[in-house]
Amino acid sequence: MQAIDLHGRQTHVQKYMLAIFCAMSFILYLDRVNLAAAAGPIKDELGLSNITLGIAFSAFGYTYAIFQIIGGWFADRMGAKKTLIVCGSIWVVATIATGFISGLTSLVLARLLLGIGEGAALPAQARAIANWFQRKDRGFVQGITHSFSRLGNAVAPPVVALLIALHSWRAAFVIVGALTSLWILVWIFYYKDNPREHPGINETELTFLPEYDKTTASGADQTPWKKILRRMSPTIFVYFCQVWTNTLFFSWVPIFFMNAYHLDLKKSAIFASGVFFAGVVGDVTGGLISDRLLKRTGNLRVARQGVIVLSLLGAFCFLIPVMLSHDVNVVVWCLSGAFFMLELTIGPIWAVPMDVAPKFAGTASGMLNTGAALATIISPVVFGAIVDWTGNWSLPFLGSGLFLIIGAIATVKIKPDHDIEHVSPAQAAKLAHS
């Protein structure tokens, strides 16, 4: 990704773009997970039960699901830049507004608004990645950008706990919202949808970039909705199964340590942070493995499906001791191992939309993340209901394990080497090395 122009000056615009994508992912999940990190104080102040808290968690998923495909289509047609300016501004308002809630209703409304803002974000980012990175690099790029989202997960519990100790949980949302607005300013002034229009790039660095499809960006091509959905359906289902368990980590791990092991807010935040840091490593590792396999074998199925199956089955194995052990140290290490394995999926599965629908990566990615959004709607309420009815904080992991096995089996239906233009496996392998 490094280039040198005729005057010997190094150009690193592509690397800076990657840094901007990573920063977006970090802030995106910091904004999303801060509710889970502050769930204890919010629950006490507002008098919420686990079920009503689960309803608040899941509210985000409704609008998040709706605006996935809308946002992806908008990014394909109008560009990732405009899409992220609009949706980023919305999620700033939603995050700050959460600091001023007065009850369950206003909390749900703030989460619904956040879902609108964040719904279009990842599909638009996928569109931007397709503009700036070649197929052979996309597993790694998706892995490292998503690793920063997990870094946001890891940082959120201790940061929010610190802000609560210094100020209040309300201040945490206002501060994080202000941080997001700074990123939007950087995006406005630095990002370009077409790399060839960026003032800081030169011809040498352009050789490291994919061709920019002006017909798709201008809306000249009609979106083949049925073809994309048909090709993406197996991937959507597998991602639903993965995110069902992911949501368990995102929404309930901080409060899980507080209630299942009677730890205080500080210790719970530290343990939760450790678990999430394992996911950071898993994201990068999964993307690297996928790209390395693609380079060595030229086989997209091995590079994508193979890593996903390993990921889901490995996570299941680590969840077994979590359900059986009563030793908090064993549980922490096994949760960390499960989250590491679970996150190996992210790089390869987010590369699939660009494999099967390269001209419509935003739309296909929106469809993929709709499956995730459906999981975020259903699973928090189910988790909360199970805990309230049984008093067992480990039991929800059992259902997650079943979804992991089902997802691993369904992975065989994913065919990343067959795109919507009916590219053959041999042609796909040739493209992978182009």
At CA 164, angle to CA 161 and CA 168, rounded to 5?
160
Domains by residue range for the chain, with CATH: 3-203+224-432 (1.20.1250.20)
Residue with tokens 């970039």: 209
pLDDT value for 431: 47
Q: Closest Cα to residue 352, out of 303, 265, 416, 406?
A: 416
Measured in residues, the chain has a length of 434
Question: pTM for this one?
Answer: 0.71
Residue 219: left if φ>0, alpha if ψ -120 to 50, beta else—which one? Answer: left
Largest CA-CA distance found in the chain, in angstroms, rounded:
70
Return the bridge partners of 322, or none. Answer: none
pLDDT value at residue 407: 93
Q: Which stretches of 196-306 are DSSP H helices?
A: 203-206, 214-217, 225-260, 265-297, 300-301
List pLDDT tens digits, range 362-409: 888 888 888 887 887 788 778 778 777 877 777 777 888 889 999 999
Q: What is the 3-state secondary structure (H, E, C) of 372-400?
A: HHHHHHHHHHHHHHHHHHHCCCCCHHHHH
Give the separation between CA 104 and CA 183, rounded to whole angstroms: 30
Pairing of strands 10-11, 3-4: antiparallel
pLDDT tens, per residue, the chain with 434 residues: 444 343 434 458 888 889 999 999 888 877 777 777 777 788 777 877 777 877 787 788 788 888 888 888 888 888 889 999 998 899 889 889 888 888 888 888 988 998 888 888 888 888 888 888 887 788 888 888 888 887 877 777 777 777 777 777 788 888 888 888 999 999 999 998 888 888 887 777 777 777 766 555 545 467 788 888 888 999 999 999 999 888 877 777 767 776 666 666 667 667 777 787 888 888 889 888 998 898 888 888 889 999 999 999 999 999 888 778 777 788 888 888 999 999 999 889 988 988 888 888 888 888 888 888 788 778 877 877 877 787 777 777 788 888 999 999 999 999 887 777 654 545 545 544 44
Q: Are 364 and 72 in contact, with CB atoms under 8 Å apart? A: yes
- Tokens representing 46 are 């507002």
Q: How confident is the model over 71-104, as pLDDT tens digits?
A: 888 888 888 899 999 988 998 898 898 888 888 8
Q: Are 69 and 77 in contact (CB under 8 A)?
A: no
Q: Would you say the C-alpha torsion 99, 102, 107, 113 has a positive or negative sign?
A: negative
